[in-house]
Structure 1
């Protein structure tokens, strides 16, 4: 792997201040796995409180606007995320693409805005079940990588610094309990790596490629051991320390 494994919990639209106790428990355990980079992306409302509650792991946002400020009611900008304590942001999650109609160009603009503000980024890509069944999965995801990844000097610097990650999340596996077969994950991660090398040259090897989609304690070890898998973007299993920590342990030791 280009860097230590990256295990990121995405709390989505879940969480209240009462869940800070779970975050503290995860943080304490994360300190016991120095070879694993651990992070949580809570709702916007909890970023500041979470940042104050933890010390061993990263804290991020689940989305940002393309603009730094302005008349965009209900949106949150990348500089606002920085101001409240975030150090990275997820962009292009399939739920944003589907629920909010975000295409590759918007995702790319958000990624570039985040880098301009100093945030690390996780750019999400993934195919639908219809696209996989039609034999188009690798073509669709490769196209998303080409269209969604940031470009320019700032992007090249961020890639070289290890601040850019890609999360491959097959849409049909998110929150469904279904998980992609390991050979398919390996093939897709290889296809993504090829596009990253084409986009960024040799520095593209420094971009970590995470797998996401119903990752849990039972399947984490096998997925994380697969060639080309640099970590995991975890949804529901990140909401409690009991469910999340075995995934961190799997990344750190090869067994849950």
Structure 2
């Protein structure tokens, strides 16, 4: 069975106002979007429920993060159980900004993934290397090291609710983008690792998407690669060109 193309929009700490948020939603609601693509947008937590209520029903909504506890004295956190209760189906975990700015370890990301799946969420799991690691030819090893704790905590059947986002840190928000060949090589390495560490079936069915300065200009070529199953889009998800990225595989 072919893997359904997936395009996520990570709004990060944007937009700055409710009016700007509504303008983004209006663009998506009016857009001619390829019905064969799974589209997921991740607004800031304060906008999750308003966006869920305002956006067209064929576009899903994701949180940008969640915690490992269902409830309790954890100021500022959101639990997977609360997200499920609010009707939010997805959460992004392990984004490089969470790893670098907020010092989240791969073990913590794995625990968050396990808890999110147990509560009924689907997970967009982010992995990727720094520029120094790429220049040292350590990309495959770094990504595998980030995936290993997740593999240890998940059963093969859990992977049907996981989308892996390969996001080279050096390409996020920099304007630099991995070439289609670099993206394909990294994705193929991830798939080979899943085949060996989990099962061939999981390796074949798990969607691996690319993130890192994706734009309408480069998305079509990236989308032609056999192991690139979609995108996690940052800055461009705040612009009308996000619709063109969603439709990058349309004939």
What is the TM-score of this pair, normalised by structure 1?
0.91
Matching of residues 29-40 of structure 1 within 5 Å: 29=31, 32-40=33-41
Deviates more, 1:211-220 or 1:129-138: 129-138
Query: Counterpart of 1:70?
Result: 72
Q: Which of 161, 166, 170 lines up with 2:168 in the alignment?
A: 170
The answer to which of 14-23 and 77-86 deviates more is 14-23
Measured in 2, the distance between the counterparts of 1:74 and 1:173 equals 29
| 1:123–1:149 CA contact under 8 A, matched in 2 | no
Does residue 232 (structure 1) correspond to residue 231 (structure 2)? The answer is yes
CA distance in 2, matches of 1:114, 1:251: 30
Deviations 1:70-93 (A, max 9, x none): 111111111111222210000000
DSSP 3-state at the match of 1:219: helix
RMSD across aligned C-alpha pairs, in angstroms?
1.6
**Would you say the 8 A contact 1:124–1:167 is kept in 2?**
yes
Distance apart, 1:184 and its partner CA: 1.3
Distance change in 2, residues 1:50/1:78 (3 Å): same
The residue correspondences of 1:47-86 to structure 2 (distance < 5 A) are 47-54=48-55, 55-86=57-88
Contact 1:231 1:251 survives alignment (8 Å):
no
Gaps in structure 2 of 5+ consecutive residues: none
3-state DSSP of counterpart to 1:63 = coil
1:117 Cα offset (Å): 1.1
Contact persistence 1:109–1:150 (CA under 8 A): no
Structure 2 counterparts to residues 27-176 of structure 1, below 5 A: 27-29=29-31, 32-54=33-55, 55-149=57-151, 151-153=153-155, 156-159=156-159, 162-176=160-174
* Offset at residue 150 of structure 1 (A): 6.5
Measure the CA separation in 2 of the matches of 1:135 and 1:231.
24
| Uncovered stretches (5+) of structure 1, i.e. residues with no partner | none
The 1:34–1:74 alpha-carbon spacing in structure 2 relative to 1, beyond 3 Å, is: same
Counterpart CA distance in 2 for 1:163 and 1:27 is 26
Cα 1:49–1:71 shift into 2, 3 Å: same
| Aligned partner of residue 8 in structure 1, secondary structure | strand
Q: Is the 8 A contact 1:68 1:79 kept in 2?
A: yes
Residue deviations 1:151-206, cap 9 Å, x none? Answer: 344xx3332xx321100000000000000122111111011001222233122321
Which residue pairs with 2:210 in the alignment? 211
CA contact (8 A) 1:224 1:231 kept: yes
How many equivalent residue pairs?
247
